Structure 1
Amino acid sequence: MPKYVMWGTYCEDVLTKREPYRQAHLEGLAKQKQSGVLITLGPTKDVTKVFGIYEADDEATVHQLVEADPYWQNGIWTECTVKEWIEAF
C-alpha cells in the first residue's frame, strides 16, 4: 500500500487555541493508528508545522482524514500538503 507524507501549518497561538479540541483530536489519531492508516504524526519542536506519515489507498483518503480532524475543522491546522512518498530504505 502506498505511503503519504503530510505537512501542515498551525495557527497562531496554537497551544491555547487547540485546547478545546485536543482530546477529540488525539482520540481520532489513536483510532487511525490502530487501524494502520496512520504511521506517525506530530508537531515540529517550535509548534509551527505538523508532519505525518500515512499508509493509505490514495492521496484523497489522507485528505479526507485530515479534513475530518477537529484541528482542521476548527482552524488549528491552517494548511495541508499531502504527497506520495517512496520509502527508499
Structure 2
Amino acid sequence: MNHYLLIYTVSPDYLEKRGAYRKEHLELAEKLHHEGQLIMGGALADPSDKAILLFRGESPAAAEAFVLADPYVKNGLVLSWEIRKWTVVVGNVNAPDNPS
C-alpha cells in the first residue's frame, strides 16, 4: 500500500472564509477517513498558510478525488495544491488511533 501527501497552499484569508465551507469539507474528509483512504489531515499553524492530508492507497486517486470535491478548492480558499508519493521509513501508519 502506498502513501500520498496532499499539500494545499491556502489563501491569506483562509481562516476567516473557511467557516462557510467547513462542515462540507470535514464531512468529505471524515467519509474518506472512515473508508480507510484518508489517514489524517489538518492545517499548519503560525503561519496558517498550508494544510496537509495523508492518504493511503494503490494510487493517488483518492487524493485527486478529494481535491475535485473539496469546497475549499471549489471556492478559492486553496491557491494551489500538489500530491506527492511519500515513502514511510519510520513509524507504523497502520497502528490504531487509540492504542490501549
**Residue type at the aligned position of 2:44:** T
Identical positions, percent: 30
Q: Which residue of 1 aligns with 2:80?
A: 79
Q: Which residue of 2 aligns with 1:9?
A: 9
TM-score calculated relative to the size of structure 1: 0.91
**Residue type at the aligned position of 1:28:** L
Q: Which residue of 2 aligns with 1:48?
A: 49
Cα shift readout 1:23-82 (whole Å, capped 9, x = no counterpart): 111111111110010011111112100111100221243112122111111111121111
Is 1:24 the equivalent of 2:33? Answer: no
Q: Which runs of 5+ in 2 are unaligned?
A: 91-100
Give the alignment's Cα RMSD to 1 decimal. Answer: 1.2
| Count of residue pairs the alignment pairs up | 89
- Greater Rg by CA: 2
Secondary structure of 2:21's counterpart equals helix
Which runs of structure 1 show a deviation greater than 6 angstroms over 4 or more consecutive aligned residues?
none
